[in-house]
Amino acid sequence: MSNKLAFIMLDGLRYDTAISQMGYLHHLIEMGKASRFKVKSELPSLSRPLYEVLLTGTPVYKNGITSNQTVRLSHEESLFHLTNKAGLKNATASYYWVSELYNSAPFHPMTDRIQLNTEKAIQHGIFYWEDHYPDSHLFSDANFFMDQYEPDFLYVHSMNIDNDGHLFTADSKEYRNRVIAVDILLANILPKWMEAGYQIIVTADHGMNHDGQHGGTTAADRDVPLFIITDKMKHGIYEEVIPQLQIAPLACELLKIQPSSAMQKLSFPKLK
């Protein structure tokens, strides 16, 4: 396997729902092709702050992205900046807040949806701005970049699980069925990406509670899954709780690039 990485972030996916509903990913675990961990998200368990946590490996008090209303470019080095610095190609199919963090803010839907500029931190991007933008379209957007540019780092940010959680709560058939639907999308696309030599990370920013919200300190808000497909790890189900700040340095290790000086030192179990 190469050092290429596809990082898939499923917004609003609770740990326990991932365990009960994601049959394809657990098939890969049973067959010795993937690993599963539990991640404890940073606080506050809100979307934009945790996008910054996942992509820069820095805590909220340091990076200053403290709420969903903090609309500005990041002051930190993200995985997009670091892949650029290392001479690698990157791409993303993501919610528009990712563009606002790493390419330009504020986001203008009529001009900023498709961004192809290798001088920017995000070299190739397709961005959506409606939370119900279909995940099926999103993964098609991501696969376009995979086919056309063969990026070393591909970041895919799905929103439908979070949207259904807010509309129907985490304790609903709609939320659970949406998680199944995303697992089916992964079952249709991951074999191709794995065959192309990509390592895979699948995780979430935060969970979802029974009021259809997140932002607090409960396990429902903070506990999210982490699935990893790589030949650099002994696969299985592990009970270690991984700090969310470890995910960015893990991505750097899988990509074989230098992490930023602001990231924690990588201390990840089961890496070879």
CATH code for position 194: 3.40.720.10
Look at residue 186 and tell me if it is in a domain: yes
Look at residue 154 and tell me if it is in a domain: yes
Look at residue 203 and tell me if it is in a domain: yes
Per-residue model confidence (pLDDT) at position 239: 87
Q: How far apart are CA 65 and CA 74, in angstroms?
A: 8
Number of domains composing the chain: 1
Look at residue 263 and tell me if it is in a domain: no
Look at residue 225 and tell me if it is in a domain: yes
Quick check: pTM over 0.75?
A: yes
Look at residue 108 and tell me if it is in a domain: yes
Q: How far apart are CA 84 and CA 87, in angstroms?
A: 5
Q: How far apart are CA 192 and CA 171, in angstroms?
A: 33
Q: Give the domain range for residue 153.
A: 5-255
Look at residue 249 and tell me if it is in a domain: yes
Beta-carbon contacts of 188 under 8 Å, excluding residues fewer than 6 positions away, are none
Beta carbons of 203 and 54 less than 8 angstroms apart: yes
What pLDDT, in 10s, does the model give residues 112-151?
999 999 999 999 999 999 999 999 999 999 999 999 999 9
- DSSP 3-state of 135: helix
Look at residue 33 and tell me if it is in a domain: yes
The segments of the chain whose pLDDT lies below 50 read none
